[in-house]
């Protein structure tokens, strides 16, 4: 199943162009207008020609205030920054503390052992659906993506897997992707994220850390996405109710996302 195209950037983690993903029969996502990635704190805006060639106009940062302070974005030339903090009302949850969770194996075992790491992430995904603050951030991101003056848009969190993964899932579902296509894209980031976090995982394991905890923290898993989608179905009866009553996304924005971000196959 078609997933996003990996962009061979030298200084940006997990950069992917959502263009080309198959949607409803006869349509696919347009290329070069909506991209996802990890944080841009290491971007070399001048020398990273793959990023420069994208012509990014807007960077949407989904991270917390602490994350932005510790690792501020370096923006592509000519781009503006737009903050849409998904975890603003719960800044201490797991996706905002990936490296910290791998820093102390003994503490990790106490807090995350016995399957609690996976459970913690699954619950965080539910909260990204149910939290009013997360809904406001996702709505702001979607409104930005729908604005032709803002595109091309690059949206990101820290690793580009959890908050970014859910934001990508919402966007693709609204555009007309099946849940199977969304799941394929959601899981497709794992190789890049494993590679990026390999040194931290290696140190964690060398110090006696649990491989099960490390993988639950670093990877995305089907259960994480399922937890979010289940919350959508349970609270709002499906995508349409979530978009209308959960995100409160104007119908005009939904229509622009479905028309302007897609092209015939």
Spatial CA neighbour of 166 closest among 216, 131, 196, 194: 131
Spatial CA neighbour of 99 closest among 204, 182, 5, 20: 204
Q: Residues 42-57: pLDDT tens digits?
A: 999 989 999 999 999 9
Q: Residues 79-129: pLDDT tens digits?
A: 999 999 999 866 555 555 667 778 888 888 888 899 999 999 999 999 999
Say how far apart CA 75 and CA 191 lie, in whole Å.
25
What is the pLDDT at residue 255?
Answer: 97
What is the pLDDT at residue 94?
Answer: 57
What is the pLDDT at residue 91?
Answer: 53
What is the pLDDT at residue 24?
Answer: 82
Sign of the C-alpha dihedral, residues 208, 211, 212, 216? positive
CB atoms within 10 A of CB 149: 7
Are residues 32 and 152 in contact, defined by beta-carbon separation less than 8 angstroms?
yes
Say how far apart CA 110 and CA 51 lie, in whole Å.
41
SS3 200: helix
For the chain, domains (ranges, CATH) are 5-264 (3.90.190.10)
What is the pLDDT at residue 2?
Answer: 82
SS3 220: coil
Considering only CA atoms, give the Rg of the chain. 18
What is the pLDDT at residue 92?
Answer: 53
| Spans of the chain, pLDDT less than 50 | none
Are residues 170 and 138 in contact, defined by beta-carbon separation less than 8 angstroms?
yes
Maximum CA pair distance of the chain? 53
What is the pLDDT at residue 98?
Answer: 66
Say how far apart CA 259 and CA 30 lie, in whole Å.
10
What is the pLDDT at residue 214?
Answer: 94
Are residues 157 and 134 in contact, defined by beta-carbon separation less than 8 angstroms?
no
CB atoms within 10 A of CB 20: 15
| Tokens 């990204």 belong to residue | 128
What is the pLDDT at residue 102?
Answer: 81
Would you call the peptide bond into 193 cis, given omega within 30 degrees of 0 as the criterion?
A: no
Sign of the C-alpha dihedral, residues 226, 154, 171, 264? negative
Say how far apart CA 161 and CA 142 lie, in whole Å.
17
The backbone torsions φ and ψ at residue 53, rounded to the nearest 5 degrees and listed phi first, read -70, -15
What is the pLDDT at residue 104?
Answer: 85
């Amino acid at each position: 199943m078609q997933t996003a195209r990996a962009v061979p950037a030298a200084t940006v983690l997990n950069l992917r162009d959502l263009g080309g993903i198959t949607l409803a029969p006869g349509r696919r996502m347009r290329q070069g207008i909506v991209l996802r990635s990890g944080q841009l704190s290491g971007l070399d805006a001048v020398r990273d020609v793959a990023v420069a060639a994208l012509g990014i106009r807007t960077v949407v940062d989904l991270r917390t205030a602490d994350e932005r302070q510790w690792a501020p974005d370096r923006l592509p030339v000519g781009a503006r920054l737009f903050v849409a903090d998904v975890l603003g009302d719960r800044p201490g949850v797991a996706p905002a503390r990936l490296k910290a969770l791998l820093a102390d194996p003994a503490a990790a075992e106490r807090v995350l052992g016995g399957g609690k790491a996976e459970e913690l992430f699954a619950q965080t995904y539910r909260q990204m659906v149910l939290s009013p603050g997360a809904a406001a951030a996702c709505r702001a991101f979607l409104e930005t993506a729908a604005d032709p003056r803002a595109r091309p848009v690059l949206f990101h969190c820290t690793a580009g897997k959890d908050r970014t993964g859910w934001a990508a899932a919402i966007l693709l579902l609204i555009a007309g992707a099946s849940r199977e296509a969304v799941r394929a894209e959601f899981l497709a980031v794992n190789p890049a994220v494993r590679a990026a976090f390999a040194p931290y995982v290696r140190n964690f394991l060398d110090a006696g850390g649990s491989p099960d905890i490390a993988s639950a923290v670093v990877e995305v898993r089907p259960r994480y996405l399922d937890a979010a989608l289940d919350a959508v179905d349970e609270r709002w009866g499906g995508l349409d109710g979530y978009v209308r009553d959960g995100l409160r996304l104007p119908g005009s924005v939904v229509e622009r996302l479905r028309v302007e971000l897609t092209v015939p196959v």
